[in-house]
Each structure stands twice: as structure tokens, then as C-alpha cells.
């Protein structure tokens, strides 16, 4: 039928469009039930650049972290006119990428970053790789030289698609402006579904400048991309049977539980199973630290009870975990007595490092949701498992090897005390974002996490410089939450320029700078494994008369509130003062001991059986068996 549509037809089309647009926007957060995109009433004549902006609006993006440059400049002109997109001008592309990551982690939505071609795009490689390792949904849009110049080594040309192909879920090169809406819609769908991750969209400048017809795709057709979300019922039954009959079970929880939004169901599984649970570095907060069955974090710097439980378990029930080397230690000696149940959305992870006796592929919300009634049936039929003896042993380990630290002998602050008081005075509803190194481990150990998405860090890639921009992104995504960046003096100097972004854009993050005047974790390894030969780890930032830079003056230069704390008696007052300031960023420079170390510790490549509770002190497992 042709002709002018009636008002009723127009209203019906608008209602259908709004309904499907809502469905697509929910998928941006990884919760979609449909692959239908939002249809529009009719096509529109626009430039390719306008098409990019319109496409971002259609998928429900709200914030773009970026920097303009020659190849992306055509898009920045219509971006200025958008009433739906907030663009935040960062000071470095790496900062934009990490900010998009922090936003995504804090909100569960897709983070968006934008950069120009060549060095602008290559500066995004690190945050893209970081997001890939930690399964963060992110879309990076980069400008590329004009299509006719591609392959000629034109000014600021780099094959960013080729460079990032191993570290993205998918990469696109767009030279036809008509392909822009479909590509953007697909990119957001791929980034947010299945195992989340980064997607790169590289768009030629010529495609941005050309005229095109904007037409939003009515459906997405992605042959070969069909993530399995529903687990196989037979595998669920087998897993339930093992969990119901194990005498020494451990629930080994990874960051996939948080990505799946399955923390509420996990809590039900923990309660129903009666099993101890350990949460990896990426899963802190998935189970409340206050839960009596929570043993803490496993791995290289995990708690002794968590590490010991995995080593002595007869069943390791892994949910959204990768059997990462930092958790397993020497892989051949990891959990030698245990059967393995491994559930993950990504089939490539199952069996990659440790063979699974019961592999389960599926979305963890559906996996745990299906597992709960099956486990209840097993309990009905056979009674609950006898784990009393197991808990007696676990509780003995908890009493014998509690979390703790020694006060430093050099007169400087204890970093553990600073971070513990930060968590106690600020509370579990805040978001804590760490860089990488000793301060990261102390923040994971000495702050109590009661909720998912309140702990953000660079886990898989271990990216120094992550904390400040990621905290900025988290604060943008959760403006009503207190956001603390827990950073080291080494990490801080890599990306602290984003404090200017925070000040100018009214993003009042707070920074707890754990300043030991050193590259702390490297120095710890030099102490333990290199006969205290401190080659190139002294940063001269906090001890003695030399402070290069003076972080309080630097904070002031960036328009932040700068506070220095050198005495334990001033720690609480400084944290309280920082929490009261909400109209600008705050940097608190805590001068801590450079001799403080992270314990417990399993040395790299060593069996978890050889964990040291403190230097020279190892648990006597055989006497405790």
C-alpha cells in the first residue's frame, strides 16, 4: 500500500519504533532478549559523520570519552549539536579508553571512546587490550585516513584494525557511509552480548564526509555469532549431583559472575549449598565479605584459607573464572584432589588451562538459575552433604592465619592501615578503583566489599595508569556514588593529567595516593628474589627532602584539593575531610613505608602448597590434614 499514512498508522509506527528501540538499548547493557534493532519512520539524508552521531544516539549511548583530530574531525562537528550525547574531552586517548572501561564496569552498559587515526588510534591499544582481558563491554570509534589513501602510508595512517584484531571481539573498517548504522548497531550488540568485550569501529574520513541515507537496521544478521546462553540440562544435573555429594567443595567465583549480573543468584547458591566460596580479584563483591561462608580471595596474594581450600578440595565448582595463573600457581599442582565443574559463557575458556569433568557453557544467570532447583532436588532426595568436618578445618585455618600486617619500623605510615581505614570510614556503598601493584592488592585485601561493581581494577592485563581515568569513568556513570581511586605514586604519574578532565567537567573523584616513593611491587620482588638490589625502582616522590613531583602542589595546579598525610594520627581526619568535599577532585598523598610488603604470597611459578603467610612463614599443611 502506498500513499500518505494516516495519523493512526503514524502513531502505531512510532509506538513500535519506541518499543524496539527500548529493547536495543537494554541490549547495550547486555540484557537483550531480541536481535531486532529500532526501525525508523523513514530514511534521512545526512553526512556519514551525522550518521555516526545518530547511530550512537539510537543505541542509547550517553557518554563519549575522546579527543578530536584530523581524521575524526568531521564527526566532532555534528557531535556538538547532539542533545543526547555528552562528550568528555580527555587529555590522552589512553585516559579515554580507561574511562570508557570504568564507566562500563560501574554501570554494566557499553563504554564508548573516540580517537583520531594513527597515534590517536594506537594510544587506544592498551585500554582495548585491558578491556579484552577483563571482559569489559566497550566500543572504540576511530577515524581513518580517506579510503583512497589507505595503504599509502598517508599522514597519520595506521592499520588499527590489523593491530587490534587479536585484542578485540571484532574489528570493523568502514569505507562506505551507508554501512555506518548497521556497523554501529552490530558493534554494540557484539560488545554487550555473550562474553562482553571491546569492539573497534574504524571509519574512513571520506565516509564521514560523504552524503548518505541514514536508515537504522530493522534486524541484525550476524552469521556465526550466536552466543550460547542456555546451559545443557544434563550438565546442570551432573553439576548439581557433584555439589550435593562433595565432602570438601569450594565455589570458585570469577569476574564472569559480575559481568552476567548474577550476584543475587550466586548468593542463593552459596546459602543453599553450604559450601565455602572464594572470589577472585575480578569478583570481589560478588559475595559479601561479611558472609560467613566467604573465605576471601584466592591466588598469589590471596588469603591462606582460600588458597588452602582449593588445594584440599574434592570439588572445585568454577563460575565465570579462567583458572588464571595468578590463581592456580603451578598449574600441575593446583587442586590435585578435586573434580572440576567449570561454567562459563565462553566455551574457549573451558578446558583451556584445567580439564573440566563437567563443562557448562551458558550465561551465568541462567546457569545458576537452573542449578538452584536441581540442587534442591538433590538435597530432597539424598539430604544435604556432610561438610561439618570440612568447615572445622576451614575455620581452623581462618583462626590460625587471619588477615593482618606488621607496623613499619621506618616511622612512615602503614599502607595497610591507610587503606583499611579508607574502607571503614567511607563504607561499602562507595566505588573503589585501583591501579596495579602493591596498593591494588592491599585494596583488594583490606577493604570489605559487600556489593558487586564496587571494586574496579585492571586484573588480567595489569595496566599501570588505569586507576585515575577508570575512576573518572565510574563517577560519570554513577554520579551519586562516592568514587575513590586507590593509586600508587608510579601508576599515578602515568595518567594523572586526567585530573584536569575531572576538574573542568565537574567529576569530583577522590584519590588515595599510596606514596612509597617506589615502584612498590617491583621493589618487593627485588627484595625477595634479587638480593635487595634495587635497580631503578626509586621514584623520589615521597621520602626525604626530595619530592619530584610534589603531589600536593600538582593537585593544586590541576584545580584539586591536595592533602598530605605523614602521621598515623592524621589519617582519619584526612579521609573524612576528603569525603566531605564534593565540588572538586581531592588528592590525598599518604607517605607510606617503602618496606611494606604484600602478604600472603605465592611466588610466580610455585605451587600454591608453598604459600607464605609472611616472609619465611609457611603453613604446615601436613600437620593440619
Q: Would you list the DSSP string of 175-213?
A: --GGGHHHHHHHHHHHHHSSS--EEEEEEEHHHHHSEEE
**65, 144, 205, 590: the active-site residue:** 205
Among all chains, which residue has been given the C-alpha cell 616522590?
541
Side-chain-facing half-sphere of 151: CA atoms under 13 Å: 3
Q: CA 237, 240, 242, 247: dihedral to nearest 10 degrees?
A: -160
Contacts of 578 (CB under 8 A, 6+ apart): 510, 561, 563, 586, 588
Cell of 395: 575455620
How far is residue 497's CA from residue 163's CA, in Å, rounded to a whole number? 26
Rounded distance between C-alpha atoms, residue 105 and residue 347, angstroms: 23
C-alpha cell of residue 207: 565516509
Rg, the chain, Cα only: 25
Written as nine digits, the cell of 143 is: 577515524
Q: Are 143 and 176 in contact (CB under 8 A)?
A: no
CA distance 309 to 337: 11
**What SS3 class is residue 441?**
helix
CA distance 201 to 55: 12
Strand partners, 227: none
Choose, from 114, 138, 297, 521, the residue flagged as catalytic.
521
Active-site choice (15, 19, 84, 155)? 155
Residue from 23, 156, 393, 566 carrying the catalytic annotation: 156
Told to judge if 531 belongs to the known catalytic residues of this protein, a careful annotator would answer no
Q: Which of 308, 370, 318 is nearest to 339 (CA)?
A: 318
Look up 478 and say whether it is catalytic.
Answer: no
Minimal CA–CA distance to 120: which of 173, 155, 156, 79? 156
Catalytic residue flag (residue 93): yes
- Our answer to whether residue 521 is catalytic in this structure is yes
Cα(340)–Cα(63) distance, integer angstroms = 41
CB 81, CB 120: distance < 8 Å: no
Query: Which listed residue (58, 65, 93, 374) is catalytic?
Result: 93
- Which residues participate in catalysis according to the annotation? 93, 155-156, 205, 521
Amino acid at each position: 500500500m502506498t500513499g500518505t499514512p494516516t495519523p493512526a498508522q503514524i502513531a502505531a509506527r512510532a509506538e513500535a519504533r519506541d518499543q524496539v528501540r527500548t529493547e536495543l538499548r537494554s541490549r547495550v547493557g547486555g540484557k537483550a532478549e531480541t536481535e531486532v534493532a529500532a526501525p525508523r519512520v523513514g530514511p534521512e539524508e545526512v553526512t556519514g559523520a551525522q550518521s555516526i552521531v545518530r547511530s550512537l544516539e539510537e543505541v542509547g549511548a550517553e557518554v563519549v570519552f575522546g579527543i578530536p583530530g584530523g581524521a575524526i574531525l568531521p564527526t566532532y562537528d555534528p557531535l556538538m549539536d547532539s542533545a543526547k550525547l555528552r562528550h568528555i574531552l580527555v587529555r590522552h586517548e589512553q585516559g579515554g579508553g580507561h574511562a570508557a572501561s570504568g564507566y562500563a564496569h560501574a554501570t554494566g552498559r557499553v563504554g564508548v571512546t573516540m580517537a583520531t587515526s594513527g597515534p590517536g588510534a594506537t594510544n587506544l591499544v592498551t585500554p582495548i587490550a585491558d578491556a579484552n582481558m577483563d571482559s569489559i563491554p566497550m566500543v572504540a570509534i576511530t577515524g581513518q585516513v580517506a579510503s583512497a589513501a589507505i595503504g599509502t602510508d598517508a599522514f597519520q595512517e595506521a592499520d588499527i584494525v590489523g593491530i587490534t584484531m587479536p585484542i578485540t571481539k571484532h574489528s570493523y573498517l568502514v569505507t562506505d557511509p551507508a554501512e555506518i548504522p548497521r556497523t554501529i548497531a552490530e558493534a554494540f550488540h557484539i560488545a554487550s552480548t555473550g562474553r562482553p568485550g571491546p569492539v573497534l569501529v574504524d571509519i574512513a574520513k571520506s565516509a564521514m564526509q560523504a552524503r548518505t541515507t541514514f536508515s537504522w537496521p530493522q534486524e541484525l544478521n550476524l552469521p556465526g555469532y550466536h552466543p550460547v546462553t542456555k546451559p545443557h540440562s544434563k550438565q546442570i544435573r551432573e553439576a548439581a549431583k557433584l555439589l550435593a555429594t562433595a565432602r570438601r567443595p569450594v565455589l570458585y567465583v570469577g569476574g564472569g559472575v559480575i559481568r552476567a549480573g548474577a550476584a543475587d543468584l550466586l548468593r542463593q547458591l552459596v546459602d543453599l549449598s553450604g559450601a565455602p566460596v572464594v572470589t577472585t580479584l575480578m569478583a570481589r563483591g560478588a559475595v559479601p565479605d561479611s558472609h560467613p561462608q566467604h573465605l576471601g580471595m584466592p591466588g598469589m596474594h590471596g588469603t591462606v584459607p582460600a588458597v588452602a581450600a582449593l588445594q584440599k578440595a574434592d570439588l572445585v565448582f568454577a563460575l565465570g573464572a579462567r583458572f588464571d595463573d595468578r590463581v592456580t600457581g603451578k598449574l600441575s599442582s593446583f587442586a590435585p584432589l578435586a573434580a572440576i565443574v567449570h561454567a562459563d559463557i565462553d566455551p574457549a575458556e573451558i578446558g583451556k588451562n584445567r580439564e573440566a569433568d563437567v563443562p557448562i557453557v551458558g550465561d551465568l544467570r541462567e546457569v545458576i538459575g537452573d542449578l538452584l532447583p536441581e540442587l534442591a532436588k538433590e538435597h530432597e532426595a539424598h539430604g544435604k552433604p556432610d561438610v561439618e568436618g570440612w568447615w572445622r578445618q576451614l575455620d581452623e585455618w581462618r583462626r590460625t592465619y587471619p588477615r593482618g600486617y606488621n607496623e613499619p619500623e621506618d616511622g612512615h605510615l602503614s599502607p595497610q592501615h591507610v587503606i583499611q581505614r579508607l574502607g571503614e570510614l567511607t563504607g561499602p556503598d562507595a566505588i573503589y578503583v585501583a591501579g596495579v601493584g602493591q596498593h591494588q592488592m592491599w585494596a583488594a585485601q583490606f577493604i570489605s566489599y559487600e556489593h558487586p561493581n564496587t571494586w574496579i581494577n585492571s586484573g588480567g592485563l595489569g595496566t599501570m595508569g588505569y586507576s585515575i581515568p577508570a575512576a573518572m569513568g565510574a563517577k560519570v556513570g554513577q554520579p551519586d556514588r562516592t568514587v575513590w581511586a586507590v593509586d600508587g605514586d608510579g601508576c599515578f604519574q602515568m595518567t594523572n593529567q586526567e585530573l584536569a578532565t575531572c576538574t573542568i567537567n565537574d567529576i569530583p573523584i577522590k584519590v588515595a595516593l599510596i606514596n612509597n616513593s617506589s615502584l612498590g611491587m617491583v621493589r618487593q620482588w627485588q627484595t625477595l628474589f634479587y638480593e635487595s638490589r634495587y635497580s631503578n625502582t626509586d621514584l623520589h616522590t615521597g621520602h626525604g627532602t626530595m619530592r619530584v613531583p610534589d603531589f600536593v602542589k600538582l593537585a593544586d595546579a590541576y584545580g584539586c584539593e591536595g592533602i598530605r598525610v605523614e602521621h598515623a594520627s592524621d589519617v582519619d581526619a584526612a579521609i573524612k575531610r576528603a569525603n566531605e568535599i564534593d565540588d572538586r577532585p581531592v588528592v590525598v598523598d599518604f607517605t607510606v613505608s617503602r618496606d611494606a610488603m604484600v602478604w600472603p604470597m605465592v611466588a610466580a611459578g610455585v605451587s600454591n602448597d608453598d604459600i607464605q603467610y609472611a616472609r619465611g612463614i609457611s603453613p604446615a599443611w601436613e600437620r593440619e590434614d
